[in-house]
Chain A
Amino acid sequence: MTISMVNPSGNLREQMPFLTKMERVIVSMQDPDVGMKMRNQRLLITVIPHAMTGSDIVSWLTQKYAITEEEALHIGNFLVKYGYIYPLKEPRNLCLKQDESPYRFQTPYYWTSTRWPASEMDYAIYLAKKNIRKQGELIDYEKECYNVLHKRINHTWDFVVMQAREQLRASKQRRKADRLVLEYQEQAYWLVNRPPPGAMEVLEWGPERGSIANPRVQLVTGHCFFLNNACVCECSFVKYCEQYQDHDPIMQGCLPSNPWITDDIMYWNMNSETAVMPTKLRVERWSFSFMKLLNDPLGQKEFLIYLEKEFSAENLLFWQACEDVQHGETSRIADKVDEVYKQYLAPGASNWVNIDSKTMESTLEGIHQPNRFVLYDAQRHIYFLMKKDSYPRYLKSEQYKNLLEKAIVPQETKKSVFPFMRRQRHSSPSPALLTQAGDDDGKALSSSVRLDL
């Protein structure tokens, strides 16, 4: 056994919690009471103790975690790939086979988390041992690594060869079974830490994540001084899920059909922003919350028509203008705020909005130094005004009810006569194209959603 034990700067177990979890599985697999049944395995003439078959591993995992065989095989495969279990037949192929192939547990000395990162010195000694044993007949990639290492740590090469010889001498004095086991263990370790070209590098983690130990004591303010009863909040999730269940295409499907499944894009055409007549589900969603109505451009349009009849359209227009200020270009903020003031806030303005005096005062003051959020309070006031007042009345109005009645309920797409034939998948115009070309004519936009391009 080699002496050097490398201790990386970070604690690997802490960084890689999945290794700890895997080790927990391994330990419970070796539990004398509920662990795996192990047997002796005959390899040619040697008998290796404490071996188990691939199918035993899979059935133990299936039973212990109440999962399917497919999942158990998947997990078992990882145990082998990360070197916690190694195969005795075809030892260079680290994968789990669900048959009578024998496997053994790796000794904790060689666990991935114990000895990481693998040291170059150890690898050199291992290759040197192999080289001596096989009298120079190493596998290609191992030969390459050997030569590279020889060049790199040439100054300590004598030590490497000496160590290799010493270890080989010591192992010759062991029983054949023990010697084989140690060889397998060491080989499995190196297959994981120095995978052959083409094999998956299981120990690749991605870019390093540091932990900048922040010495500052940060105070987190809690704006919510009220700790609401969680039960009330949780009931709201149940309600929300129930309300939207029919609208969830993945859960309930969608009419006429899910484009990804049938290759038919009718669903998207019917629900596009420029559709003339909306679907029933879409109109229904407007009644779920005020935000849902405003998020749908068609809903906004309908709502505006209603507000015009009620002579309170300026509220929605003001809200839209504020959104534009908040989310538009910084360079145009001053101009936009000025426009908003002239149209909506100035005394005698054409579209004067009714804001409470306090908010109006602070807004008018803030306008002298226009920034993105100067209209925020006023916008919020108008938003909640619409939400409490106009929005419920809109939902009860004839306009909305009529639309809901007339709204389309699509027919389910008839299944094709030849189900194995795939529909042609039509491309659609890129949004970039639409925005660049369609600035002139709104009508051109709606008709340009052609199926053939």
Chain B
Amino acid sequence: MKRKCSCKRHIFCLGLFCFIYILFFKMLCGPGERYLPRKMAAQEVQPSETIAKLKLESETLKTKLEEERAKLHDVELHQVAEKVEPLGQFVMKTRRTLKGHGNKVLCMDWCKDKRRIVSSSQDGKVIVWDAFTTNKEHAVTMPCTWVMACAYAPSGCAVACGGLDNKCSVYPLSLDKNENLAAKKKSVAMHTNYLSACSFTNSDMQILTSSGDGTCALWDVESGQLLQSFHGHAADVLCLDLAPSETGNTFVSGGCDKKANVWDMRTGQCIQSFETHESDINSVRYYPSGDAFASGSDDATCRLYDLRADREVAIYSKESIIFGASSVDFSLSGRLLFGGYNDYTINVWDVLKGTRVAILFGHENRVSTLRVSPDGTAFCSGSWDHTLRVWA
């Protein structure tokens, strides 16, 4: 499918963008300012009556930018994907059911060995399973309830978790069955509100966290030191995901302010922001190539955002889907998007065509977490019905 690149449009848009930027900056700094740096860090304006005025200006500029964007004749993803062959009959079943949590399962993560998982629940229990044999290998009881975040270290030797204790703690996995894991616990992150998500970066040495206090933060595991903090959300941050990109230093976060922000981990700056959802964003996940990410929200839709085009390119919704999506993940090729919903079901979407391929029943309460295994052979869902299920 060939499209003429309208260079004129691009240059005009670029010009308009720059103009808007300069105008904006001039507004802030006043007429006396001569020097205009090309990049601006997140600035704070002194609280005064000009805030309302500036907000109004920024809204007007945003609309102008959207108008220009629309003029680029951008199409939706499903239109581009019209010639793609539709998917055939889709069959996925529960292959394993993991029972052992005495309360709502809130979060889970896969180990790099493709068969082990860690899961956390409302009563403070964190369990490490060999999902293949369904055996429990380790169990820890956290001193707090609602452990909403847990993550497996890349080496497979530790797990991180946290929740209403406002902290993220790392537990090294001991092989001595008699050893109390809680004794070796290391407190890494400290927030001022609940911990909503955590993830190790490429190694066991750094953890990225998001919190109900509206910030994300990067921590050094060894020392517990804060390496970088990320401010920009106007409300609780509920989820995050690290980019699989080559340069590997960005991540995306979603929050109760309906925004999904992309951050540079080195500088702490917000590089891009997307605001098209109508309610809290519960889950964000990168497309396997790293050029896009999907989000699941309480507004009962999942959306795909393209990072290079800087816009939303697909919405996955159906009138009959009323309840919010709590967690999303892609299959290995990125063709399928799995969404766990608060109506106890899992909907499988054709990412390219925007249609629903299948609906999976099985859980008896809301699906709170969903992750595809590292080699894409299965995905695991955790639910408020106290169980986890592996589907393939």
Contact = CB atoms under 8 A, between A and B. Distances in A.
B359 interface: yes
Contacts of A267: 377
Given A228-B310, A247-B333, A250-B336, A70 B10 contact: no
A237 B205 contact: no
A38 B338 CA distance: 38
A65 B321 CA distance: 10
Given A212-B235, A251-B333, A431-B113, A217 B54 contact: yes
B254 interface: no
A442 B280 CA distance: 48
Contacts, number: 321
A152 interface: no
B146 interface: yes
Interface in A239-298: 240-245, 247-251, 254, 258-261, 265, 267-268, 271, 290-291
Interface residues on B, range: 35 or more
B390 interface: yes
B22 interface: no
A70 B148 CA distance: 31
A347 interface: no
Contacts of A373: 266
A417 to B, nearest CB: 21
Contacts of A419: none
Contacts of A323: 202
A156 interface: no
A99 to B, nearest CB: 20
Contacts of B361: 70, 74
A211 interface: yes
A220 B289 contact: no
Contacts of B17: 222, 225, 227
B116 A431 contact: yes
A198 interface: no
Contacts of A237: 77, 81, 287, 289, 291-292, 334, 351-352
A97 to B, nearest CB: 17
Contacts of A235: 1, 80
A271 B95 CA distance: 21
Interface of B: 1, 3, 5-6, 10, 13-14, 17-18, 24, 28, 39-45, 47, 51, 54-55, 58, 68-69, 72-75, 77, 80-81, 84, 87, 92, 95-96, 111-116, 130, 132-133, 135, 137, 146, 148, 155-157, 164, 172-175, 193-194, 201-203, 205-206, 212-214, 220, 222-223, 225, 227, 231-236, 238, 244-247, 256-257, 261, 266, 269-273, 278-280, 287-289, 291-292, 298-300, 306, 308-311, 313, 318-320, 322-324, 331-336, 342-345, 351-352, 359, 361, 365, 372, 375-379, 390, 392
12 contacts: A21-B322, A218-B234, A219-B28, A220-B273, A229-B5, A241-B334, A243-B333, A249-B332, A254-B377, A328-B205, A329-B205, A431-B157
